[in-house]
Chain A
Amino acid sequence: KQEVTQIPAALSVPEGENLVLNCSFTDSAIYNLQWFRQDPGKGLTSLLLIQSSQREQTSGRLNASLDKSSGRSTLYIAASQPGDSATYLCAVTSNSGYALNFGKGTSLLVTP
Chain B
Amino acid sequence: EAGVAQSPRYKIIEKRQSVAFWCNPISGHATLYWYQQILGQGPKLLIQFQNNGVVDDSQLPKDRFSAERLKGVDSTLKIQPAKLEDSAVYLCASSPTLSGNTIYFGEGSWLTVV
Q: What is A's interface to B at a CB cutoff of 8 Å?
A: 4, 31-32, 34, 36, 41-46, 49, 51, 89, 91, 93, 97-105
Contacts and interface: CB of A to CB of B under 8 A. Distances in A.
A69 B100 CA distance: 19
A32 B95 CA distance: 14
B42 A105 contact: yes
Interface residues on B, range: 20 to 34
A101 B103 CA distance: 13
A44 B44 contact: no
Contacts of A34: 102-103
B99 A98 contact: yes
A43 B107 contact: yes
A47 B101 CA distance: 12
Contacts of B106: 43
Secondary structure of the B contact surface, majority rule: loop
Contact of A99 (B33, B41, B107): B33
Contacts of A103: 42
A103 B103 CA distance: 16
Contact of B100 (A4, A51, A101, A105): A51
A42 B107 contact: yes
A41 B56 CA distance: 27
B42 A102 contact: yes
B98 interface: yes
Contact of B48 (A44, A51, A99): A99
Nearest to A9: B40
B42 A31 contact: no
Contacts of B42: 4, 89, 91, 102-105
A98 B55 contact: yes
17 contacts: A31-B100, A34-B102, A42-B107, A43-B91, A43-B107, A44-B43, A44-B105, A46-B104, A89-B43, A97-B56, A98-B31, A98-B55, A99-B45, A100-B45, A100-B103, A103-B42, A104-B42
